[in-house]
Amino acid sequence: MKKILITRKLIYSSEKYASKIFFAKINTKDKLLTNSEIIQMSNDCDGILSSITDQLNEETISKFSSKIKIISNFAVGFGNIDINAANKKNIIVTNTPDVLTDATAEIAILILLGAARRAKEGIQWANKKNWKWSADFLMGKQLTDARLGILGMGRIGRAVANRARSFGMKIHYHNRSRLNKDLEKDAIYHDSLKSLLSISDFFSINCPSTKETKNIINSETLKYFPDGAVISNSARGDMIDDEAMVQALKSGKIFSLGIDVYNGEPNIHPEYLNLPNVFVLPHLGSSTIRTRTAMADLAVKNIEEFFKTGKCSNKVN
């Protein structure tokens, strides 16, 4: 029986499933393991089921035992793993695509609405119990007939677009390449980021995290937005230059920001907590019972498939 290390606690049914197939070393206390602990605990293992919170850099992977043949990441993203380092060690890396598309798209719409309709301020006023109605009380931005710019029209971006259409939004997007007509539907393609930003009354970040996308929303690109735009990020925190965003929010260039992900999680930029026009969630994108169970089961199945066949359909390297 193959032995695997599961670095973070999973849904119980998924842990039980893993334990039937493998000798599973499970982090039952769900303590965030240091890289040194992961190296030590995986020393006698054949594979690792990692979490997005594990930062498996080149130094760490280079110290992995030669027994380790697979890292199955419990996430659709894999920016937390140094792929080149894994290749050098002949370790395959897998992810959990498809199963979290709908749940993440729901959160993308939630933070877009929360930012646009000033939900943070509304909750604060409701808690005070002394608010008084007036014609201009907490006026926000309406989605109906507004232009939504989507950065990244993969599975999640398209799911966001489908939901946004139900609000009557007009979909625009920028992608590495233009979609075919069946996937594009009525969305309007922009061949440059500047072109997309310039028409985005609302803007949703849904692209993968890469070296090219790091701080893609910065002091320069923020200038391209229409005044009073609403921005949401449900992808990865490193897409936004926080200092530049804070200044844009304070100046009114950007009306509001909705974020489910941010740099240095869980240590959020303090200004995001202080500013009234920032709606924040603690990385809830895939956090439903149905989705987290499906993700964990798929992460286990990826390892099972690899050891049975030597291949894996969800391999990313």
| Residues forming the active site | 236, 265, 283
Alpha-carbon gap, residue 105 to 179, rounded angstroms: 19
Phi-psi sector, 103: left (phi>0), alpha (psi -120 to 50), beta: alpha
- What is the CA 308 to chain-centroid distance, rounded? 30
User: What tokens appear for 27 in the block?
Assistant: 């982090």
Three-state SS at 202: strand
Assess contact for 53 and 27: CB atoms under 8 A.
Answer: no
Angle in degrees, CA 158, 160, 161, rounded to 5: 60
3 state SS of 6? strand
Give the dihedral of Cα atoms 184, 187, 188, 191; nearest 10 deg. -50
> How many Cβ atoms are within 10 Å of 195's Cβ, its own excluded?
16
Question: E strand or H helix at 254, and its extent?
Answer: strand 254-259
CA 317/CA 306 separation, integer angstroms: 13
92 forms bridges with which residues in the sheet? 70
The whole-angstrom separation of Cα 78 and Cα 200 is 28
